Structure 1
Amino acid sequence: MVEKASNTKWFGMAVQALIVLANYEGLCPSGKLAEKLESKSVFLRKILTHLVKAGIIQAKEGRDGGYSLVKEPSELYLSEVYEAMRAETLPKDFLDVEQKGCFLPNTREALCELREEMENWILAGLKEKTLADLLRD
């Protein structure tokens, strides 16, 4: 059973950050990235930390530091980004049936299986798309 799912808000922001990095010349400071995405720096840095841990981007600390892509956009599959954002436990509103006493155990199990299938469908679709597919001239 899937214990963790990608937080869709985090995934969306991660993809947007990667698009900015793909179009940015050199290292992009987190403040500049947050400004471009109209996001709070603290929130964005949490997302960037997961992308660094997953080896999707690299970070250079210090005054002249910033972030950059590790791979070419055509080699970076969106499924990798989705997987990197699996740091969150399943959101409460994502078929949360674990504590629902109104469901019989078999029904609860079937709903959990559906949740896992949904995650697999999403991942299968994202394995077909790269970051380059989202970049338009």
Structure 2
Amino acid sequence: MDVQFGTHRFHATLGVLLLLAKHGGTLSSSEMAKNLHVHAVYLRKIVSELLRLGLVEAKEGRDGGYKLKLPSTQISLADAYEAARSEKGSQNEMGNGWRSLEQVKTEIDRCTITCLKKYRISDVMIG
């Protein structure tokens, strides 16, 4: 399991999606970083994975930035979890004697994703 539900990366990824949904338009990475209190380089890593997964799109030029590619009603919290998890890459190799623990972690991960699929970005937006 590469990321846990409560990790900073998941929270930051979810924060990007929520911020873009609430704004409804295009935001620059520096604006998002400032609003989310994270470093711009860290934020761009998160956004690059969201771009790769087709959840956000980039607009070039002077008024460029990022916006949601899909409505917030079509993006699940599991999408944010998957983006946070896949950015870090796979780290499933454990030392000798830990194979059964890895199976438990994999099951927990599957259960987490199943639960998060029930909720959309629009469900957790405030105001």
Structure 1 length-normalised TM: 0.81
1:114 aligned to which of 104, 119, 122: 104
Which has more helix, going by share of residues? Answer: 2
- Match of 1:64? 63
1:19-72 per-position Cα deviation (integer Å, ceiling 9, x unaligned): 111111421111111111111100000000000100001111232101101111
Preserved contact between residue 6 and residue 87 of structure 1 (Cα < 8 Å): no
- Match of 1:98? 94
- Match of 2:78? 79
Aligned-residue CA RMSD (Å): 1.9
Preserved contact between residue 97 and residue 111 of structure 1 (Cα < 8 Å): no
Task: Establish whether residue 48 from structure 1 lines up as the match of residue 47 from structure 2.
Answer: yes
Preserved contact between residue 34 and residue 44 of structure 1 (Cα < 8 Å): yes
Task: Establish whether residue 135 from structure 1 lines up as the match of residue 125 from structure 2.
Answer: yes
* Larger Rg computed on CA atoms: 1
Preserved contact between residue 14 and residue 80 of structure 2 (Cα < 8 Å): yes
Structure 1 ranges of 4+ moved more than 4 A: none
Aligned amino acid, residue 69 of structure 1: L
Unaligned stretches of 5+ residues in structure 1: none
- Match of 1:6? 3
3-state SS of the aligned residue for 2:88?
coil
The Cα shift of 1:119 comes to 0.6
Unaligned stretches of 5+ residues in structure 2: none
Give the Cα–Cα distance (whole angstroms) in 2 for the partners of residues 19 and 37 of structure 1: 10
Q: Number of aligned residue pairs: give it.
A: 124
Give the Cα–Cα distance (whole angstroms) in 2 for the partners of residues 25 and 119 of structure 1: 31
Aligned amino acid, residue 88 of structure 1: K
Give the Cα–Cα distance (whole angstroms) in 1 for the partners of residues 89 and 45 of structure 2: 15
Aligned amino acid, residue 80 of structure 2: V
Q: Percent identity over the alignment?
A: 28
Aligned amino acid, residue 131 of structure 1: I
